Structure 1
Amino acid sequence: MKLCGLHQRKKQQILQRPYRSCGRSTTRPSSPWNRLIDGEITSKPMVLFLGPWSVGKSSMINYLLGLSDSPYQLYTGAEPTTSEFTVITHGEKIRSIEGIVMAADSSRSFSPLEKFGQNFLEKLIGIEMPHKLLERVTFVDTPGIIENRKQQERGYPFNDVCQWFIDRADLIFVVFDPTKLDVGLELEMLFRQLKGRESQIRIILNKADNLATQDLMRVYGALFWSLAPLINVTEPPRVYVSSFWPYDYAPDTSRELFKREEISLLEDLNQVIENRMENKIAFIRQHAIRVRIHALLVDRYVQTFKEKMSFFSDPELVFQEIVDDPDKFYIFKSILAKTNVSKFDLPNRDAYRDFFGINPITNFKPLSAQCSYIGGCLLEKIEKAITNELPALLSSINSGKQPGLSSCEATGCGEKPKNRYRKN
């Protein structure tokens, strides 16, 4: 067996820790005008698996859920096998759900995926199963990156779909194996999409027991060499080195290191679940900041449009001039003069050309028109939530935490998960 004694007990303890639900949560949409549906707000933490084909993403999920060699395991193989986005969630019984059903159910957090078209929904599948870990987290397996395949060959906007999941993931495992360290255009695009999400990224060097210790050190260095231009942060991401499958490690390899790395990964996963409430509140506040800035920008566009319009002006030409060159009219600079607005939070200027192409500017009223004597101003309510209410809620949760293990963590609560012993 690969894990036994203390390691098995540690692993079991991690997976049976109680799940604390705050009832409401949020996502981190890439655009402030994205609507959050109820299913997204109340969703469990999402763990996303990305990486090249045949690096062991599906095998890793099978191992974490104890599905290996069972009738319900995700299909794996040496060739590219996963062509669908597979969402593994908790359910009372094991069953699969078609993508069109997931998109049609507004109670789920995946109904917005319908915007990517029917071709994509045919490549989306959900799997429900009664597993203790899935009561606390949702896993998403993705098609492997194939550098010689163009996005249009997939039949749907692959990068846009990946971005949707990235924006909503609480933890992102980017999986490599020692034979697939080269970086091509599709992988480079993926890391560009991960920009700003470095704190959620974990790099997995899988199948590490295929190498002797000296070769593994060289591969580890080569991995960082390949990723250095793509992850431009002062602190490198956490890298886990092990073989995440149920079989024994190869002889004469770093067995103790692999065991410790696996326990560390499980602790990391548990930490994301334990910090769910704090993370969700922080992300709600982050989204509120984006909404506030977006409202201020649209209001500024509206004001500028009305100021430049005259009786003889062509509305389309006037507004086209404003959208094409917002700096000429100090659209964005005027927002920076507002309180608590950082230049680093300002969205892309080009995004508003697309936004107003879908939403005509004549549909919007000034923010001053959104105030009433009884209800107050909508913008003031958002500012109050950002400045006072959400930080106070976060403080109240942190102050209620007790150091050390809870009684459930110390003694176990409810049904204990079945021990998953590794095979020889």
Structure 2
Amino acid sequence: MFSWSKRDGKKDPELFQNVSDGLRQLYRSKLLPLEKAYCFHDFHSPALEDADFDNKPMVLLVGQYSTGKTTFIRHLMEQDFPGMRIGPEPTTDSFIAVMHGEREGVIPGNALVVDPKKPFRKLNAFGNAFLNRFMCAQLNNPVLESISIIDTPGILSGEKQRISRGYDFAAVLEWFAERVDRIILLFDAHKLDISDEFSEVIKALKNHEDKMRVVLNKADQISTQQLMRVYGAGPVSRHPKAFHGRCPAQLNDLIKRARLAKVHSLHHLSSLKKEMPSVFGKESKKKELIANLPQIYTTIEKEHQISPGDFPNVTKISSHLSCHSLNVAPLKPKLLEAVEDMMANDIARLMQLVRQEEAAIPVQSVKGGAFEGTMNGPFGHGYGEGASEGIDELEWVVAKDKPSYDEIFYTLSPINGKVSGAAAKKEMVKSKLPNTVLGKVWKLADVDKDGFLDDEEFALANHLIKVKLEGHELPAELPSHLVPSFQTWEGQY
């Protein structure tokens, strides 16, 4: 249990056991009242339930048909799952939530949306046409003890097939996108075509691009030149950030939801209500306000110092407003103050818990299937590359380039077999690396810490510079296989 001291004589801040518990309490006590007061759930997203906070991290797979989505899941788990179908034509015609369960089996969609332990109850709003195409595949697989995976129907290219779905495919994907922790867009490197329906999907997922990652399947079957052409034509070219687990994702989603709820209460049903007549001409005035929504956005943006990126899509909101009454309660400052206090103070305290929980998570938190042993042995990431080069070799890896480094070393006029820091610096700065990097190189290369470099230490310094110039990171501590003359330094290192 964590506690904090009193602030400005106000009541004690709320105490949280963990991040999920804290997010649930903050949502219920501070954000949910604002959402209910201004019909947020009718315009944007249904209310969150306990299962939304307690569930495992979820990964959503999206892509056109035959790009390998189901095969990708099977590869990760190294096991078939109930309901899976693989083939060259569109085969997966349902949304399948692949989740952990002691007993293998399938739960139909209509039964799934009434289970309070599953985070899918609000999908009931999409009707039977969707629920008949939704199921949960449960199996006892170690990968699923850490994550759940949502397999989706292949995105179609024909308008006729798209209409025949019977439900709003893009809206369903947007619902999942709000709740999952990672969205993987899967493309076939041989055919990077984007259909009309795929374009709609990408637009629906636009507000969640921080969760998106693009996977080019079968990229090993095309040439480097073709791969670069495909990469340049792709919809995403940002460098992704590392994914450390569910807590930061949940926290980020709650902050985004709070900002949207705040804007919603300020402009939809408060600022718009002020303009409405009390008795006559309500409908005509409402149409006028909807038509002038962009200008109203601009006014609210200036009055309340709100970022333009926090406002919802004008077209989407206009369609909702046209069939929704503006007869709601006036703006309640206390509700807004509670949300602002949550974002200014409570979220900062939760961040401390996030860092503590992240520190307790092992480097590889997902185990089993294709994840088993991926961090160990010669097939681990970065093994034998950069500073790890030569880790398995009997001969010192720097020795092969040492003759060329020796030529430079002896031009620096060594005294008693060593060159001073000033002399070494003149040579090292020729690499044009920042002084901070060269300082780290010096610290690693000066093995005996005497402030001078002998020929082997000088060669090591040049090797580390080469490693950095090739784009690899320098180690925090010098690995044992890079220590020069193992026998010489054995007793000192």
Common topology (TM > 0.5): yes
Which residue matches 1:354?
A: 319
Which residue matches 1:122?
A: 132
Give the TM-score, by structure 2 length: 0.61
Please point out which of 49, 54, 70 is paired with 1:58.
70
1:332 aligns with 2:259: no
Q: Give the conservation status (yes or no) of the 8 Å contact 2:185–2:215.
A: yes
Report how far residue 218 of structure 1 moved.
Answer: 3.3
1:390 aligns with 2:347: yes
1:373-424 deviation per Cα after TM superposition (whole angstroms, max 9, x unaligned)? xxxx11110111112211221134326754xxx5x849x99x98478699xx
- Percent identity reads 25
- Measured at CA, do residues 32 and 143 of structure 1 come closer, stay the same or move farther in structure 2, by a change above 3 Å? closer
Report how far residue 171 of structure 1 moved.
Answer: 1.1
1:323-345 deviation per Cα after TM superposition (whole angstroms, max 9, x unaligned)? 23246xx6323322344511221
Report how far residue 182 of structure 1 moved.
Answer: 2.1
Which residue matches 2:452?
A: none
Report how far residue 216 of structure 1 moved.
Answer: 2.8
For residues 25 and 223 of structure 1, what CA distance do their matches in structure 2 show? 41
Report how far residue 117 of structure 1 moved.
Answer: 1.7
1:102 aligns with 2:67: no
Which residue matches 1:236?
A: 238
- Measured at CA, do residues 393 and 203 of structure 1 come closer, stay the same or move farther in structure 2, by a change above 3 Å? same
Which of 1 and 2 has greater Rg? 2
For residues 76 and 352 of structure 2, what CA distance do their matches in structure 1 show? 33
- Measured at CA, do residues 349 and 195 of structure 1 come closer, stay the same or move farther in structure 2, by a change above 3 Å? closer
Report how far residue 180 of structure 1 moved.
Answer: 2.5
1:295 aligns with 2:293: no
1:22 aligns with 2:20: yes
Which residue matches 2:191?
A: 180
- Gapped runs of 5+ residues in structure 1? 1-19, 239-267, 372-376
For residues 42 and 75 of structure 1, what CA distance do their matches in structure 2 show? 30
- Structure with bigger RCO (C-alpha 8 Å, 6+ apart): 1
Which residue matches 2:329?
A: 365
Q: Give the conservation status (yes or no) of the 8 Å contact 2:22–2:350.
A: no
Letter in 2 for 1:40: D
Give the TM-score, by structure 1 length: 0.70
User: Secondary structure, in 3 states, of the residue corresponding to 1:295?
Assistant: helix
Letter in 2 for 1:289: R
Give me the CA root mean square deviation: 3.3
User: Secondary structure, in 3 states, of the residue corresponding to 2:20?
Assistant: coil
Report how far residue 148 of structure 1 moved.
Answer: 2.3
Please point out which of 127, 131, 135 is paired with 2:141.
131
Which residue matches 1:322?
A: 289
1:78 aligns with 2:117: no
Report how far residue 282 of structure 1 moved.
Answer: 2.2
For residues 52 and 320 of structure 2, what CA distance do their matches in structure 1 show? 23
Q: Give the conservation status (yes or no) of the 8 Å contact 1:37–1:109.
A: yes
Please point out which of 212, 217, 226 is paired with 1:219.
226
- Measured at CA, do residues 207 and 389 of structure 1 come closer, stay the same or move farther in structure 2, by a change above 3 Å? same
Letter in 1 for 2:110: I
Q: Give the conservation status (yes or no) of the 8 Å contact 1:25–1:42.
A: no
Q: Give the conservation status (yes or no) of the 8 Å contact 1:202–1:237.
A: no
Question: May I ask how many residue pairs the two structures share in their alignment?
Answer: 339
- Measured at CA, do residues 290 and 378 of structure 1 come closer, stay the same or move farther in structure 2, by a change above 3 Å? same
For residues 81 and 38 of structure 1, what CA distance do their matches in structure 2 show? 34
